[in-house]
Structure 1
Amino acid sequence: MGQSPSAPTRGPLLADRPMAVAGRFYPGDPAQLAQEVDSLLAGVKASPAPLRPKAVVAPHAGLAYSGPTAAHAFAPLARHRDAIHRVVVLGPSHRLAFRGLALSGTRAYDSPLGPVPVDHSWQDRLSDLAFVGRLEQAHGPEHALEVELPFLQRILGPFSIVPIVCGEAAAEEVAQALERVWGGPETLIVVSSDLSHYLEYEDARRQDGRTATAIARLDGAPIGPREACGHVPLGGLLCLARAAGMTTRCLDLRNSGDTAGPRDRVVGYGAWAFYDPTNLLG
């Protein structure tokens, strides 16, 4: 399983983290990136209800593939742009196997749209959890967190992030970590995950439909790595949401065969919003 995150979480701050997939998953040119993200967000029909999501699930492929679905996760946040100042972003580790949850000592994520500062004081809330610590090797090449940032930067006012890359961890452990950084209306939780991978189009639709049903029930048990690459952070969110009596809404469900790819080997994408019963209205 490889190494585990090192403790404690606090140490010397590192230089800003360069973007690993700028120019590949999304444009590296700021003007082009802003234009493409704004176009995707403008394509989302406005929600009729003024609900403020406490958490969202969004995919993390290239903009051409998953961008339309990701836009559905983030567009409803526009009316709450001045209320959200911190975003906890959790995603899977695609390139490094490890046990636990990995934080970063970097000062900021150096997005083409401007640096996004890391909230180290908020990270310190996790410092006494044995399965949480710094592991820069998990953050450096990982794309799952950074591809969400351009959407957040175009939809919100100034904000900081708590970036968490998830290795192998139980849903209860992720839920425990999330409780520490849940915060109030100023804090948004973002879980980054794609759904099924490389199935034929109709098979993917059926499997992703079953995953959507499980999410609607706030049931993470049927969701493993075949159902969602981000099943670890998603399972933690579902565990906590169920205990807290939250409600969820599926905002979009499609796959790469619907957007920019062939239909013989597709990747599934879904967008969900989670609502805290104590904070439904904006």
Structure 2
Amino acid sequence: MAGLFYPADPARARAEVEALLTAADSRGGGSVDHRDVPRRGSAPKALIVPHAGWRYSGDLAALGWRTLVPLRGTVSRVVLLGPTHRVAVRGLALPDADHVDSPLGPLRVPVDEVLSRTAHLPTPVRVHAATHRDEHALEVHFPFIHRVLGQVQVIPLNVGVADPADVADVIEELWGGNESVIAVSSDLSHHLSDRQAQVVDAETITRVLDRQDVESGRACGASPLNGLLEVCRRRDLHPRLLGAHNSSTVNGDVGRVVGYATFAVQEKARP
């Protein structure tokens, strides 16, 4: 998806990531609705970040990823879950590769370890190469991960039809300690008018903050998102909204918009 959703050229991709992270760090105005942005002395355990092209939601993605800057050198693994847009899958699926590529460099994927660790679960992770081919929901985040955390491991999980409890079981199995962070990739409503989307997305944001499951029509990543919300309920963790807007703020088209939001989940015991 490089060249479509974000620059394929390494120099351009790095420059754009830097610009997006710098803008997020400045907490400037613009189209981002900045809310409860963590200070540098703390960092979340989990993120919910959007996955449109960087032109549309890169600012919000950067707003989430930049909160992990204090964890560079501590975090060695990112568990990244997202929906499928092209090839459907049941359950959760890894790519059939020991690494994923990005313009900023490769990130290693511990396939065998994940398969082994989740084999005992009701819905174990499996390998499904086709569902990762030409799928952008996870790929758009690889350059942010590489720039913010370095050459860490990434566990890219495409999540299809799955019970939230089963997705939560996988997240729990991979939760780890200070060496791991979790990220769910999801946009909000699609193809409503700006006025309709603002109402619907506000309702969805409230549901996420209240840790209530979200319907698939309100968030394309509802399946992995609801899994993370189940973990939040189990662990008594509370998502916080960092920012939200929709595509009309970029292209001016108020007739058909896509909504985006970024959230952070702080683990109580995390320094």
Fold equivalence (TM over 0.5)? yes
1:52 aligns with 2:43: yes
Q: CA offsets per residue over residues 119-143 of structure 1, 9 Å max, x none?
A: 2224421123353311111111211
Matched residue pairs, number? Answer: 258
SS where residue 50 of structure 1 aligns?
coil
Map 1:1-282 → 2, pairs under 5 A: 21-44=1-24, 45=27, 47-48=38-39, 50-120=41-111, 121-131=113-123, 132-220=125-213, 223-279=214-270, 281=271
- Rounded to whole Å, the distance in 1 between the matches of 2:184 and 2:115 is 17
> How has the CA–CA distance of structure 1 residues 47 and 260 changed in structure 2, closer, same or farther, with 3 Å as cutoff?
farther
- Rounded to whole Å, the distance in 2 between the matches of 1:84 and 1:117 is 14
- Rounded to whole Å, the distance in 2 between the matches of 1:124 and 1:59 is 30
Deviates more, 1:114-123 or 1:35-44: 114-123
Q: CA offsets per residue over residues 95-119 of structure 1, 9 Å max, x none?
A: 1223211122201111111111102
Query: Which amino acid letter does the alignment assign opposite residue 20 of structure 2?
Result: L
Q: Is the 8 A contact 1:66 1:259 kept in 2?
A: no
Structure 2 spans left out of the alignment, 5+ residues: 28-36
- Rounded to whole Å, the distance in 1 between the matches of 2:179 and 2:249 is 35
Q: Is the 8 A contact 2:40 2:70 kept in 1?
A: no
Q: Is the 8 A contact 2:40 2:67 kept in 1?
A: no
- Rounded to whole Å, the distance in 1 between the matches of 2:154 and 2:40 is 27
Q: CA offsets per residue over residues 69-108 of structure 1, 9 Å max, x none?
A: 1111111111211111100010001112232111222011
Q: TM-score, normalised by structure 2?
A: 0.92
Q: CA RMSD in A?
A: 1.4
1:180 CA displacement: 0.7
Deviates more, 1:126-135 or 1:63-72: 126-135
Structure 1 spans left out of the alignment, 5+ residues: 1-20
Query: Which amino acid letter does the alignment assign opposite residue 240 of structure 2?
Result: R
1:254 CA displacement: 0.5
- Rounded to whole Å, the distance in 1 between the matches of 2:252 and 2:139 is 22
Query: Which amino acid letter does the alignment assign opposite residue 64 of structure 1?
Result: R
Q: Is the 8 A contact 2:92 2:158 kept in 1?
A: yes
- Rounded to whole Å, the distance in 2 between the matches of 1:119 and 1:261 is 42
Q: Is the 8 A contact 1:65 1:261 kept in 2?
A: no
Q: CA offsets per residue over residues 23-68 of structure 1, 9 Å max, x none?
A: 0100000000011111011111274362221100101110101111
Partner of 1:18: none
Q: Is the 8 A contact 1:41 1:71 kept in 2?
A: yes
Deviates more, 1:57-66 or 1:115-124: 115-124
Q: Which runs of 4+ in 1 moved over 4 A?
A: none
